[in-house]
Protein backbone atom coordinates (compact mmCIF):
# COMPACT_ATOMS: atom_id res chain seq x y z
CA UNK A 1 0.00 0.00 0.00
CA UNK A 2 0.84 3.68 0.11
CA UNK A 3 3.56 4.74 2.50
CA UNK A 4 2.93 7.08 5.38
CA UNK A 5 4.80 8.45 8.35
CA UNK A 6 3.69 7.07 11.73
CA UNK A 7 3.82 9.51 14.64
CA UNK A 8 2.88 7.91 17.99
CA UNK A 9 1.27 10.38 20.38
CA UNK A 10 2.91 10.06 23.78
CA UNK A 11 -0.26 11.44 25.37
CA UNK A 12 -1.24 7.79 25.86
CA UNK A 13 2.22 6.68 27.06
CA UNK A 14 3.06 5.98 30.71
CA UNK A 15 4.30 9.40 31.82
CA UNK A 16 6.03 7.87 34.84
CA UNK A 17 8.34 5.99 32.45
CA UNK A 18 8.36 8.42 29.53
CA UNK A 19 11.98 8.02 28.36
CA UNK A 20 11.62 4.24 28.20
CA UNK A 21 8.27 4.50 26.42
CA UNK A 22 9.68 6.85 23.78
CA UNK A 23 12.71 4.61 23.20
CA UNK A 24 10.45 1.56 22.92
CA UNK A 25 8.12 3.12 20.38
CA UNK A 26 11.10 4.31 18.31
CA UNK A 27 12.66 0.84 18.40
CA UNK A 28 9.22 -0.43 17.34
CA UNK A 29 9.50 1.55 14.12
CA UNK A 30 7.97 4.97 14.83
CA UNK A 31 9.26 7.73 12.54
CA UNK A 32 8.64 10.73 14.77
CA UNK A 33 7.31 11.45 18.27
CA UNK A 34 4.04 13.42 18.52
CA UNK A 35 4.13 15.61 21.64
CA UNK A 36 0.76 17.03 22.77
CA UNK A 37 0.87 20.29 24.71
CA UNK A 38 -2.36 21.33 26.46
CA UNK A 39 -2.82 24.40 28.65
CA UNK A 40 -6.25 23.99 30.32
CA UNK A 41 -7.31 27.15 28.49
CA UNK A 42 -7.39 26.44 24.76
CA UNK A 43 -8.39 22.84 25.60
CA UNK A 44 -9.82 21.45 28.87
CA UNK A 45 -6.76 19.39 29.79
CA UNK A 46 -3.21 20.00 31.04
CA UNK A 47 -0.18 18.03 29.87
CA UNK A 48 3.51 18.63 29.34
CA UNK A 49 5.71 21.55 28.35
CA UNK A 50 9.18 22.47 27.09
CA UNK A 51 10.97 21.04 30.15
CA UNK A 52 9.73 17.55 29.27
CA UNK A 53 10.82 17.98 25.64
CA UNK A 54 14.29 19.00 26.82
CA UNK A 55 14.35 16.06 29.26
CA UNK A 56 13.77 13.66 26.35
CA UNK A 57 16.66 15.27 24.43
CA UNK A 58 18.89 15.04 27.52
CA UNK A 59 17.87 11.37 27.81
CA UNK A 60 19.50 10.84 24.39
CA UNK A 61 16.44 10.82 22.15
CA UNK A 62 17.49 12.14 18.74
CA UNK A 63 14.35 11.31 16.71
CA UNK A 64 12.25 14.22 15.46
CA UNK A 65 9.82 15.60 18.05
CA UNK A 66 6.59 16.99 16.59
CA UNK A 67 5.14 19.47 19.08
CA UNK A 68 1.37 19.95 18.76
CA UNK A 69 0.48 23.15 20.62
CA UNK A 70 -3.06 23.18 22.00
CA UNK A 71 -2.41 26.43 23.82
CA UNK A 72 -3.32 30.09 23.51
CA UNK A 73 -1.44 32.32 22.95
CA UNK A 74 1.32 30.45 21.12
CA UNK A 75 4.38 32.68 20.50
CA UNK A 76 6.13 32.46 23.89
CA UNK A 77 5.84 28.67 23.94
CA UNK A 78 7.08 28.43 20.34
CA UNK A 79 10.30 30.14 21.44
CA UNK A 80 10.64 27.83 24.47
CA UNK A 81 10.04 24.67 22.42
CA UNK A 82 12.65 25.70 19.84
CA UNK A 83 15.15 25.99 22.71
CA UNK A 84 13.94 22.66 24.14
CA UNK A 85 14.79 20.73 20.97
CA UNK A 86 11.52 20.50 19.04
CA UNK A 87 11.89 19.67 15.36
CA UNK A 88 8.31 20.37 14.24
CA UNK A 89 5.84 22.81 15.81
CA UNK A 90 2.16 23.12 14.89
CA UNK A 91 -0.51 25.39 16.35
CA UNK A 92 -4.20 26.12 15.88
CA UNK A 93 -4.77 29.31 13.82
CA UNK A 94 -7.52 30.62 16.11
CA UNK A 95 -5.08 30.43 19.05
CA UNK A 96 -2.91 33.32 17.79
CA UNK A 97 -3.69 36.84 16.61
CA UNK A 98 -0.94 36.78 13.99
CA UNK A 99 -0.77 33.49 12.13
CA UNK A 100 1.94 34.50 9.68
CA UNK A 101 4.16 35.88 12.46
CA UNK A 102 3.80 32.71 14.54
CA UNK A 103 4.66 30.53 11.52
CA UNK A 104 7.68 32.72 10.78
CA UNK A 105 8.82 32.42 14.40
CA UNK A 106 8.86 28.62 14.03
CA UNK A 107 10.71 28.74 10.70
CA UNK A 108 13.27 31.22 12.03
CA UNK A 109 14.02 28.72 14.80
CA UNK A 110 14.88 26.09 12.20
CA UNK A 111 11.78 23.97 12.84
CA UNK A 112 9.15 22.64 10.45
CA UNK A 113 5.93 24.62 10.83
CA UNK A 114 2.28 23.70 10.53
CA UNK A 115 -1.30 24.74 11.14
CA UNK A 116 -3.85 22.53 12.90
CA UNK A 117 -7.54 22.55 11.97
CA UNK A 118 -10.24 21.37 14.37
CA UNK A 119 -12.96 19.16 12.85
CA UNK A 120 -15.35 22.07 12.15
CA UNK A 121 -12.72 24.70 11.30
CA UNK A 122 -12.45 25.55 7.58
CA UNK A 123 -9.06 25.41 5.88
CA UNK A 124 -9.20 29.13 5.00
CA UNK A 125 -6.36 30.15 7.33
CA UNK A 126 -3.93 28.10 5.23
CA UNK A 127 -4.69 29.84 1.94
CA UNK A 128 -2.27 32.78 2.03
CA UNK A 129 0.49 31.06 3.99
CA UNK A 130 0.82 27.86 1.94
CA UNK A 131 4.44 28.73 1.11
CA UNK A 132 5.28 28.68 4.84
CA UNK A 133 3.59 25.36 5.66
CA UNK A 134 5.51 22.13 6.09
CA UNK A 135 2.47 20.45 7.65
CA UNK A 136 -1.29 20.75 7.51
CA UNK A 137 -2.69 18.83 10.48
CA UNK A 138 -6.36 17.87 10.45
CA UNK A 139 -7.92 17.01 13.80
CA UNK A 140 -10.19 13.99 13.45
CA UNK A 141 -11.40 14.39 17.06
CA UNK A 142 -12.03 17.51 19.12
CA UNK A 143 -8.68 18.24 20.77
CA UNK A 144 -8.06 17.60 24.45
CA UNK A 145 -8.05 13.87 25.02
CA UNK A 146 -6.76 10.61 23.61
CA UNK A 147 -8.97 7.63 22.96
CA UNK A 148 -11.85 9.40 21.17
CA UNK A 149 -13.63 8.09 18.07
CA UNK A 150 -12.54 9.18 14.58
CA UNK A 151 -14.93 11.74 13.01
CA UNK A 152 -15.58 10.40 9.47
CA UNK A 153 -16.45 13.80 7.92
CA UNK A 154 -12.78 14.69 8.15
CA UNK A 155 -12.05 12.32 5.24
CA UNK A 156 -13.73 14.74 2.81
CA UNK A 157 -11.73 17.59 4.34
CA UNK A 158 -8.55 15.55 3.84
CA UNK A 159 -9.33 15.21 0.13
CA UNK A 160 -9.77 19.02 -0.05
CA UNK A 161 -6.52 19.64 1.82
CA UNK A 162 -4.69 17.16 -0.42
CA UNK A 163 -5.92 19.10 -3.47
CA UNK A 164 -4.80 22.42 -1.95
CA UNK A 165 -1.31 21.01 -1.34
CA UNK A 166 -1.04 19.44 -4.79
CA UNK A 167 -2.36 22.58 -6.53
CA UNK A 168 0.16 24.73 -4.65
CA UNK A 169 2.94 22.32 -5.62
CA UNK A 170 4.54 22.59 -2.19
CA UNK A 171 6.43 20.07 -0.07
CA UNK A 172 3.89 19.79 2.74
CA UNK A 173 2.81 16.78 4.76
CA UNK A 174 -0.91 16.16 5.30
CA UNK A 175 -1.26 14.87 8.82
CA UNK A 176 -4.24 13.53 10.77
CA UNK A 177 -4.69 13.30 14.54
CA UNK A 178 -7.35 11.47 16.53
CA UNK A 179 -8.94 8.04 16.47
CA UNK A 180 -6.50 6.55 13.96
CA UNK A 181 -6.23 2.76 14.25
CA UNK A 182 -5.40 -0.35 12.24
CA UNK A 183 -9.00 -0.56 11.04
CA UNK A 184 -9.28 2.90 9.47
CA UNK A 185 -5.71 3.82 8.48
CA UNK A 186 -6.08 2.51 4.90
CA UNK A 187 -9.15 4.63 4.24
CA UNK A 188 -7.40 7.66 5.77
CA UNK A 189 -4.33 7.15 3.59
CA UNK A 190 -6.57 6.82 0.52
CA UNK A 191 -7.97 10.29 1.25
CA UNK A 192 -4.48 11.75 0.78
CA UNK A 193 -3.07 11.77 4.31
CA UNK A 194 0.64 10.91 4.50
CA UNK A 195 1.38 11.37 8.22
CA UNK A 196 -0.60 9.52 10.88
CA UNK A 197 -0.74 10.35 14.59
CA UNK A 198 -1.84 7.42 16.74
CA UNK A 199 -1.94 7.45 20.53
CA UNK A 200 -4.23 4.96 22.23
CA UNK A 201 -4.05 2.52 19.28
CA UNK A 202 -0.31 2.09 19.88
CA UNK A 203 0.19 2.73 23.62
CA UNK A 204 -2.20 0.10 24.87
CA UNK A 205 -1.48 -2.82 27.16
CA UNK A 206 0.81 -4.64 27.22
CA UNK A 207 3.22 -1.70 27.38
CA UNK A 208 6.12 -3.39 25.61
CA UNK A 209 8.24 -2.69 22.56
CA UNK A 210 6.97 -5.94 20.98
CA UNK A 211 3.36 -4.88 21.37
CA UNK A 212 4.07 -1.40 19.93
CA UNK A 213 5.94 -2.98 17.01
CA UNK A 214 3.05 -5.35 16.37
CA UNK A 215 0.60 -2.43 16.04
CA UNK A 216 2.94 -0.28 13.94
CA UNK A 217 3.71 -3.24 11.63
CA UNK A 218 -0.04 -3.88 11.24
CA UNK A 219 -0.58 -0.19 10.42
CA UNK A 220 2.15 -0.25 7.80
CA UNK A 221 0.82 -3.45 6.21
CA UNK A 222 -2.66 -1.94 5.72
Quote the CA–CA distance of 91 and 74 in Å, as a whole number. 7
Please list the residues that pair with 88 across neighbouring strands: 66, 112
Quote the CA–CA distance of 199 and 181 in Å, as a whole number. 9
Q: Which of 4, 6, 11, 133 touches ligand DX5 by CB under 6 A? A: 11
Here's the x/- map for ligand DX5, 50-79, by CB under 6 A: it reads as: ------------------x-----------
Q: Which does 147 bind (CB under 5 to 8 A by kind): Zn ion, ligand DX5, none?
A: ligand DX5
1: contact with ligand DX5 by CB under 6 A: no
31 is an active site residue: no
State yes or no: 203 annotated in a binding site: no
Residue with smaller CB distance to ligand DX5, 34 or 132: 34
Here's the x/- map for Zn ion, 23-42, by CB under 5 A: it reads as: -------------x------
134: contact with Zn ion by CB under 5 A: no
Residue with smaller CB distance to ligand DX5, 200 or 218: 200
Quote the CA–CA distance of 20 and 23 in Å, as a whole number. 5
* Strand ranges, E, within 61-134: 65-70, 88-91, 112-117
Tell me how far CA of residue 126 lies from CA of 53, 182, 202, 212, in angstroms.
27, 29, 30, 34
Quote the CA–CA distance of 21 and 149 in Å, as a whole number. 24
Q: Which of 4, 8, 66, 68 touches Zn ion by CB under 5 A? A: 68
Quote the CA–CA distance of 195 and 38 in Å, as a whole number. 21
Question: Among 39, 66, 134, 177, which one carries the catalytic annotation?
Answer: 177
State yes or no: 144 annotated in a binding site: yes
State yes or no: 1 annotated in a binding site: no
Positive or negative: CA dihedral 152, 157, 161, 167: positive
36 is an active site residue: yes
State yes or no: 36 annotated in a binding site: yes
90: contact with ligand DX5 by CB under 6 A: no
Pairing of strands 33-38, 65-70: parallel
Q: Which of 178, 184, 185, 196 touches ligand DX5 by CB under 6 A? A: 178
Positive or negative: CA dihedral 195, 199, 205, 208: positive
Quote the CA–CA distance of 18 and 11 in Å, as a whole number. 10
The residues binding ligand DX5 (CB under 6 A) are 9, 11-12, 34, 36, 68, 141, 143-144, 146-148, 177-180, 197-201
Catalytic residues: 36, 177
Residues that bind Zn ion (CB under 5 A): 36, 68, 177
Instruction: Extract the annotated binding site for a divalent metal cation.
Output: 34, 36, 68, 177
Amino acid sequence: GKKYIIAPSILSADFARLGEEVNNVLRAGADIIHFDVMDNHYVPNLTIGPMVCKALRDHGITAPIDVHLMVSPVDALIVEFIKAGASHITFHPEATNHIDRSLQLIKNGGCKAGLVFNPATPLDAAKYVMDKLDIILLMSVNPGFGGQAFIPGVLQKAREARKMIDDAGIDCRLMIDGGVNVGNIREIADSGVDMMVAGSAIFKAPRTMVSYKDTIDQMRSE
